[in-house]
């Protein structure tokens, strides 16, 4: 009976809530989407991406997380603000390590530990 209930659950039921309460949902087997409301800073997205990478995927502290689709409409929900991340570097873009919280330049990346450290940011909205 429990198997039937799990199978009947909608896909969004498997979403993850990051430490900062943002939703994270898998897009495919390599990409996950961080979904947020308007006005949140890049640090909030990176926090959620790092938290998901650690707690769901099991990424190690030094595993790099890459921005693979810039901030735009969500694909897993009807929301206007989302960004896609992966543990696999996107092809054909500059992935030189930096320490930027941009959600505009595909290829931006942080270690999972650095990304998750933004969950401790006392000003997640950039205030």
What is the DSSP secondary-structure string of the chain? -HHHHHHHS-GGGG-EE-TTS-EEEESSSSEEEEE--TT--HHHHHHHHHHHIIIII---TT-EEEEEEEEE--SSSS-S-EEEEESSPPTTS---------SSSTT-EEEHHHHHHGGG-S-TT--
pLDDT value at residue 6: 41
Across the range 30-46, mean pLDDT stands at: 91
| 125 neighbors 39 (Cβ within 8 angstroms) | yes
Q: Is the pLDDT assigned to residue 94 strictly greater than 50?
A: yes
Across the range 57-80, mean pLDDT stands at: 94
Q: Two tokens at 48?
A: 């959620």
pLDDT value at residue 62: 95
Average pLDDT value for the chain: 84
pLDDT value at residue 121: 54
pLDDT > 90: percent of the chain? 66
Across the range 106-119, mean pLDDT stands at: 93
Q: Is the pLDDT assigned to residue 28 strictly greater than 90?
A: yes
């Amino acid at each position: 009976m429990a198997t039937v209930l799990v199978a009947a659950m909608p896909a969004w039921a498997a979403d993850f809530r990051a430490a900062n309460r943002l939703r994270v949902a898998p897009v495919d087997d390599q990409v996950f989407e961080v979904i947020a409301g308007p006005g949140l800073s890049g640090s909030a997205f990176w926090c959620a991406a790092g938290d998901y990478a650690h707690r769901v995927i099991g990424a190690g502290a030094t595993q790099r997380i890459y921005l693979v689709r810039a901030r735009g409409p969500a694909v897993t929900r009807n929301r206007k603000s989302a960004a896609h991340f992966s543990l696999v570097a996107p092809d054909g873009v500059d992935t030189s390590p930096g320490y930027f919280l941009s959600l505009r330049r595909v290829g931006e990346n942080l270690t999972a530990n650095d990304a998750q450290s933004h969950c401790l940011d006392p000003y997640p909205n950039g205030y």
